[in-house]
Structure 1
Amino acid sequence: MKMVGLIGGMSWESSAEYYRLLNQGVRDRWGPTASARCLLWSFDFAEIERLQHAGDWDALTEGMIDAARRLEDAGADLLLICTNTMHRTAPAIEAAVGIPLLHIADPTAAAIRAAGLSRVGLLGTAFTMKQDFYRGRLRDRHGLEVIVPPTEDRATVHRIIYDELIAGIVSPASRDAYRAVIARLVAAGAQAIILGCTEIMLLLDAQDSAVPLFDTTALHARAAIDAALA
């Protein structure tokens, strides 16, 4: 079994879910006493959040590269960034280490393509929804048409992530707000919805949408299990 290096703490709520999914998946495949070989570098998300909203992506990239190198030096065979937004730094990380980085968008896109779908709505932080580092990969590498919510809905989705979900707060009112955003994306032609923030799975499940939901956290973890056990 390969050693999985996890760059986490962004937030720890979703990193804990990664740890659960990895271990549960290995146990399901290899038996009741089996568990995942993994290393976790966990950031203080308060520092990450401050730099994100200050737009200091150079400092963020330096920190992510440092974490990746530490995991490589500790014996990781492959890397996961346990957050969608910080995949903005993925190209720099790939250039700085000698082990593969499993990009969260790739298993997500593969699952969407396997379902025969091509036009998807994207929920995530404002950075993920507005900037091209994520949408562009889905479009250019996988041929997906990506629809994002309008400005007001993007603000709502982003606020709930940072004010509630990263603190483990799951509110029925926020679930209703997300349901409304999803309904508008479906009305705009989305055949499916990408839960493009690793905390959104804390709030939503299949019954909250008229079209399929693709949980990037679960899909990323499953791909990591496949790679580790190959």
Structure 2
Amino acid sequence: MKKLGLIGGTSWHSTLVYYRRINELVAEKIGGWENPPMIIYSLNIKLMREQNISEINAAYLDIANKLQSVGAKAIVICANTPHMVFEHVQPQIDIPILHIADAVGQEANNRGLKKLGLLGNRPTMTGSFMQDRLKSNFQIETLIPEDKYIDECHHYISKELTQGKFSEESRNFFIRQMEYLREKGAEGIILGCTELPLLLKQENFDFPLFSTTDLHIQNAVDFILMKD
């Protein structure tokens, strides 16, 4: 099995999900008597909240180099928003960063879908790291909520979900946004926050939900078990 480096902490709730599910899925493949080699670097979520891009880029590059130096063969960033560092970090290290948008794009292509709604925090919905990569690599168009609801999405995620609070109020809000995106032509919805799948379950909806967490974790497991 290949050794994986995990960069977590934003938030620790999603990092826990990554670690647990990677172990569970590997065990299902090879038997429960083994677990995959992983190195976790958990940073302080305060770094992402302050949104100093140069400091964020520098911190993630430093962490990536440390993980590479201790034998990681690939890196998984255990959240959506920190993928904003990909273009800065990837060219400066010698091991791949498994991009979360690629996991979504591959699954959407498998289903023949070309227009997806995107829910997440403000940087994820308005930034380029998810939308541009889906467009350029997979020819997938993304739709986001109306401008007047962007801040509200961000509020629920940063003030509730990343702190482990999952309320009916927030669930109903995101359901309304999903319905709006479907009316605008979305063929499915990207749950672009690693806490959103804890709030919104596929079995409660009659159209595809793309959990970036689950799809990214599956890509990580595939890499761990991939033969040279």
What's the TM-score bracket when you normalise by the shorter of the two chains? over 0.9
Corresponding position of 1:156: 152
Q: How far apart in 2 are the matches of 1:120 and 1:164?
A: 25
Corresponding position of 2:190: 194
Find the partner of 1:171 among 167, 173, 179: 167
CA shift at 1:177, angstroms? 0.6
Task: Spell out the pairing of 1:2-151 with structure 2 (5 A cutoff).
Answer: 2-50=2-50, 52=51, 56-151=52-147
| TM-score, with structure 2 as normaliser | 0.96
Provide the secondary structure at the position in 2 that maps to 1:133.
coil
Q: How far apart in 1 are the matches of 2:48 and 2:139?
A: 31
Provide the secondary structure at the position in 1 that maps to 2:39.
strand
* Residues 158-198 of structure 1 deviation map (CA, whole Å, 9 limit, x = unaligned): 11110001110110111011101100101111000001111
* Residues 47-74 of structure 1 deviation map (CA, whole Å, 9 limit, x = unaligned): 3212x2xxx2011000010111111111
Provide the secondary structure at the position in 1 that maps to 2:97.
coil
CA contact (8 A) 2:13 2:162 kept: yes
Identity %: 35
Corresponding letter in the other structure for 1:76: A
Q: How far apart in 1 are the matches of 2:9 and 2:140?
A: 29
CA contact (8 A) 1:179 1:209 kept: no
Q: How far apart in 2 are the matches of 1:83 and 1:153?
A: 22
CA contact (8 A) 1:198 1:217 kept: yes
CA shift at 1:208, angstroms? 4.3
Q: How far apart in 2 are the matches of 1:104 and 1:142?
A: 13
CA contact (8 A) 2:5 2:75 kept: yes
CA contact (8 A) 1:104 1:220 kept: yes
Corresponding letter in the other structure for 1:104: I
Corresponding letter in the other structure for 1:18: Y
Corresponding letter in the other structure for 1:9: G
Q: How far apart in 2 are the matches of 1:46 and 1:75?
A: 28
| TM-score, with structure 1 as normaliser | 0.95
CA contact (8 A) 1:3 1:37 kept: yes
CA RMSD of aligned residues (A): 1.0
Corresponding position of 2:202: 206
CA shift at 1:210, angstroms? 3.5
CA contact (8 A) 2:48 2:82 kept: no
Q: How far apart in 2 are the matches of 1:28 and 1:61?
A: 36
CA shift at 1:139, angstroms? 0.7
CA shift at 1:152, angstroms? 2.1
CA shift at 1:133, angstroms? 2.2
Q: Which runs of 5+ in 2 are unaligned?
A: none
